[in-house]
Chain A
Amino acid sequence: MGESLTIEVPNAQDAIAPATEEAERWLEAHEVPTKAIYLALLAIEELVTNCINYGYDDTAEHTIRIEFGLADGAMTMEVVDDGHEFDPLNAPEPDLLVELEDRPVGGLGIHMLRKLADEMAYERVDGKNRVKLVKRSESTE
C-alpha cells in the first residue's frame, strides 16, 4: 500500500493558499516528481477556486476534500465537493486556434488539467462531485 494524505479545505478563497502549501510540502517530502506536483497545485487552484466561486448558492460553510494517494510510481488525486453537479470533462474545450481577439478564456484551467494529467475522470456520487487525476512518473533516461 502506498502513502495517502487528505486535506480538507473550507469554501473560502483564503483557505486555498494553506491547502496548497500543505500539499506541496507533503508531495516534496515524498519525492514526487516536479511535473506531478505542478499538476496537483494546478488542480487545487483551478478546481477548488471554481467550486468556491460557482459551486454553491448558499452561504453555509462547505468542505472540499482533496485526497492524495501515492502508489506504483503514480500520484492519484481526488477533489471531492458537495457543490452543484459539475463535470469538467463535459466542459467545452477552448478553441485555441480562434482569432486572438475572440479567444475565449473560460475553460482554460480545465483544459490545462486534461493536458497535464495522464488520466482524468469524473463521477457524481452521493450528491458529490469527484474529480480524479492521475499522473505517472515518467521513465527517465
Chain B
Amino acid sequence: MNSTSPEAAPARLECVQGVPVMVITGRLDTHAAPIFDAQAAKLLGEKHARVLLDLSGVTFISSAGLRSILQIIKHTNRSGGRTGIFSVPEQILEAIEISGFQPLIDIYPDRETALNGSSV
C-alpha cells in the first residue's frame, strides 16, 4: 500500500491498542479521495468492527471526501461496530453534521478519549 508518494498520501494507518487508526491530513477532496480510498482498501479487506479516524490535520472536506469516510462507516457497520472520529476541526465537524453523518459515527474530542471508548 506504499505505492503512492508520501506527499500525495492523505492518510497514514496506525494500529493503537489493537484498533486501526487512520490519520488523515490535508484536503480530502475529489483529488485526494481516490488516494485515500486506495490506502483504506487494505483495511476494508479485513474485518474491523472499530476504526478510528484522526481528523485533526484535515483542512477541507468535500462530498467526495465524505463518501470515502462513508465507506469506512459502512464497513465497521457490516462488522457489527461503528467508526469513531476524533480531534475534528470545527469547520470539518460542521460539514459532517450538515451531511447527516453525525448519528452514524462516534465523535470524540481527542485520541485518548476515542481509544478509551474503543476497548476491544
Contact = CB atoms under 8 A, between A and B. Distances in A.
Max chain A Cβ within 10 angstroms of own Cβ: one of B30, B67, B70, B94: B30
Contacts of A116: 94-95, 98
A97 B102 CA distance: 11
B98 A115 contact: yes
Task: Tell me the interface secondary structure of chain B in the complex.
Answer: helix
A92 to B, nearest CB: 14
Contact of B62 (A35, A46, A96): A46
A34 B91 contact: yes
A122 B28 CA distance: 27
Interface in A17-76: 17, 34-35, 38, 41-42, 45-46, 49
A46 B63 contact: yes
A109 B66 CA distance: 9
B115 to A, nearest CB: 24
A101 interface: yes
Interface in B41-95: 60, 62-64, 66-67, 70, 73-74, 77, 91, 94-95
30 contacts: A13-B31, A16-B30, A16-B31, A38-B91, A41-B60, A45-B30, A45-B62, A45-B64, A46-B63, A49-B64, A94-B100, A96-B99, A96-B100, A97-B100, A100-B73, A100-B74, A100-B104, A101-B74, A101-B77, A103-B70, A108-B67, A109-B62, A111-B98, A111-B99, A112-B62, A112-B63, A112-B95, A115-B98, A116-B94, A116-B98
Given A41-B60, A45-B29, A96-B99, 15 more contacts: A13-B30, A45-B64, A46-B62, A46-B63, A49-B30, A94-B100, A100-B77, A103-B70, A105-B63, A105-B70, A109-B63, A109-B64, A111-B98, A112-B99, A115-B98
